Amino acid sequence: MAAAFFPRVTFRLKVEIVRRWCWWTTFFASVDWTKLILATALVSTAFHVFLTYGLPPYSSDSFFFPSISLSYATEGKVAAALQSPSPLPSSLVAGPWQSPALPEASSLSSSYPDGSFSHSSIPVGISVSKHSTENETSNARSAHSSGSKVERPLRWLPTDDALVYAKSEIERAPIIYDDPDLHPALFRNVSIFRRSYELMEKILKVYIYQEGEKPIFHRPARRGIYASEGWFMKLLEQNKHFVVRNPNRAHLFYLPYSSRQLEEALYVPGSHTIRPLSLFIRDYVNMIAAKYPFWNRTRGSDHFVVSCHDWGPQITRDHDELRRNAIRALCNADESRGIFIRGKDVSLPETIVRRVRRPLQDLGGKPISQRSILAFYAGQMHGRVRPILLKYWRGKDEDMKIYGPLPSRVSKVMSYVQHMKTSRFCICPMGYEVNSPRIVEAIYYECVPVIIADNFVPPFDEVLDWSSFSVVVAEKDIPILKNILQEISLSRYISLQTNVKKLQKHFLWHAKPIKYDLFHMILHSIWFSRLNHIQIRR
């Protein structure tokens, strides 16, 4: 009986399966899949556009999520008490992108009057714990336990609140000592740097103004002595992680002009004036301020320029807010005469790129045991320092290979690059201005740079400890230069040179940027400068 029952059940199952298969086959055959896929794509695209462009920057979050609650602990170790400036007049905020006032829990400072802006000192710590938390949920939980509370992922924070949150997190950065990607000896505080860099990757969005015609705008020159501004422009404009098309989402705004292209387009040789260049930039910024509300909203303090030409600071002088408030990444980082505002402006490395397709050629140098030259310099007689250097050391000592332009009889035996690869110390005197491309060249060739330029702020000085991989000599001490170098012990030199080799990766250009490379270091300095002037009401 059981044997007769089971075949009957099996037969019914087969019939049911066939019946349902026929139904699904009929259903799928009746659907117009082309129209269905097209309709789905249109709905998805429309929803994305609505999220990106259709909502105001400070209300879009609350449309889908509960309101955010931010509070900030008073436990952060801040060297100076932060003072809140007077609020911006409402007349300076206009247009359809107007943003409401921030919550009472936070306050943003965006004004930098000459010599009077409030500067928050980031605390310096010692490494203790091995790992910092990298998960945003863990960050929020940790922040909540110490008095700071974030109830939503970072990407949903309003732009101003995101900056306040980032600064509060950096002030209590988890202490680290074991990071395979970073060499702690290079940094003032590696814990602060890594936490800031992590938050930059998670939070920072940059809007690039499309206004401005080539060649002055949007045409980077990536070869020659001013290559830094061109490489940065090129890599940022093609970046999809940091750059946004919706300015409401941006934390920083880039004015994409090239000071080198500006010189070639507008400077009249022999005129001995760069006023037409500065007036051109003044009019451009005024046009941006009239067309968009973002400049007037912060008086330009969340805008930045990147300029490697010696004239970079002077080009901004005819627009008061551009000079005093905007973040300027400058190769000419001379803090005398008010040219460079330390703590606001960013010192930009001056890099010479001879081949755009191979910017990393000839890296490295000889081991210490094969570096037979104590110190080397060769170059043009620009500025006040180089003639003094040659006066005291050209042809005076076999250990000091100091030249003007490298003589052909010398270069036939050993090239300029080979001299740097064979020297223990590479002399980097200022030229017409304080900056010198020899600093980065020395790093490329693993030669300890000797910087002779009073009032020069070296690149990334806000995070790097230059005493750990370079020697700074005052201009007045040029007559005793050899004594200064000889007094450096072998163990100390080995430490300096080892650190130069570790530092090298932070000064390299890559066609496709990689973590901690030169592109990211420059962008981090701009991000760090902006955060450094955010004020949190405690």
Could you list the mean pLDDT of each consecutive 10-residue stretch along the chain, which spans 538 residues? Answer: 50 61 61 74 70 44 34 32 33 30 36 35 36 39 40 72 93 88 96 96 96 90 88 96 96 95 91 94 97 96 96 94 96 90 95 82 92 96 95 95 95 95 97 94 97 96 98 98 97 98 96 96 98 81
Rounded-to-integer distance, Cα 387 and Cα 371, Å = 26
pLDDT of residue 488: 97
Determine the number of helices (DSSP H) and then strands (DSSP E) in the chain: 19, 10
Rg over alpha carbons for the chain, rounded to the nearest Å, is: 29
Q: Nearest-CA neighbor of 298 among 110, 521, 65, 470? A: 110
Residue 167 CB partners (closer than 8 Å, separation 6+):
120, 531, 534, 536
Buried residues in 508-538 as b, exposed as e (16+ CB within 10 A) = bbeeebeebbbbbbbbbbbbbbbbbbbbbee
End-to-end CA gap in the chain: 85
| Residue type, position 402, single letter | I
pLDDT of residue 435: 93
| Residue type, position 114, single letter | D
pLDDT of residue 82: 30
Q: Do the Cβ atoms of 513 and 329 come closer than 8 Å?
A: no
CA 302 to chain centre: 14
Rounded-to-integer distance, Cα 500 and Cα 481, Å = 21
SS3 166: helix
Rounded-to-integer distance, Cα 194 and Cα 441, Å = 26
Q: Write out the H or E segment, with its range, that includes residue 450.
A: strand 448-452
Rounded-to-integer distance, Cα 456 and Cα 52, Å = 43
Rounded-to-integer distance, Cα 396 and Cα 107, Å = 60
Cis peptide before 57 (omega within 30 of 0): no
Distances (CA, A) of 124 to 172, 233, 458: 10, 32, 19
CA 410 to chain centre: 40
Q: Do the Cβ atoms of 486 and 465 come closer than 8 Å?
A: no
Rounded-to-integer distance, Cα 85 and Cα 110, Å = 9
Distances (CA, A) of 70 to 49, 313, 348: 28, 38, 35
Dihedral (C-alpha) 265, 266, 272, 276: value to the nearest 10 degrees?
Answer: -160
Residue 371 CB partners (closer than 8 Å, separation 6+):
365, 422, 423, 424, 447
Which is it for strands 252-254 and 303-307: parallel, antiparallel or unpaired?
A: parallel
Q: Do the Cβ atoms of 301 and 88 come closer than 8 Å?
A: no
Rounded-to-integer distance, Cα 200 and Cα 163, Å = 10
pLDDT of residue 153: 66
Report DSSP state, residue 407: P
pLDDT of residue 355: 80
Domains located in the chain, CATH noted: 154-203 (no CATH), 206-354+520-533 (no CATH), 368-507 (3.40.50.2000)
DSSP for 58-97 reads TTHHHHHSPPP-----S-S--SS---PPPPPPGGG--STT
Q: Nearest-CA neighbor of 144 among 206, 71, 92? A: 71
- What's the pTM value of the predicted model, to 2 decimals? 0.75
Residue 148 CB partners (closer than 8 Å, separation 6+):
70, 71, 72, 73, 165, 168, 169
Rounded-to-integer distance, Cα 27 and Cα 29, Å = 5
Rounded-to-integer distance, Cα 71 and Cα 140, Å = 12
Residue 86 has a CB neighbour count (10 Å cut-off) of 6
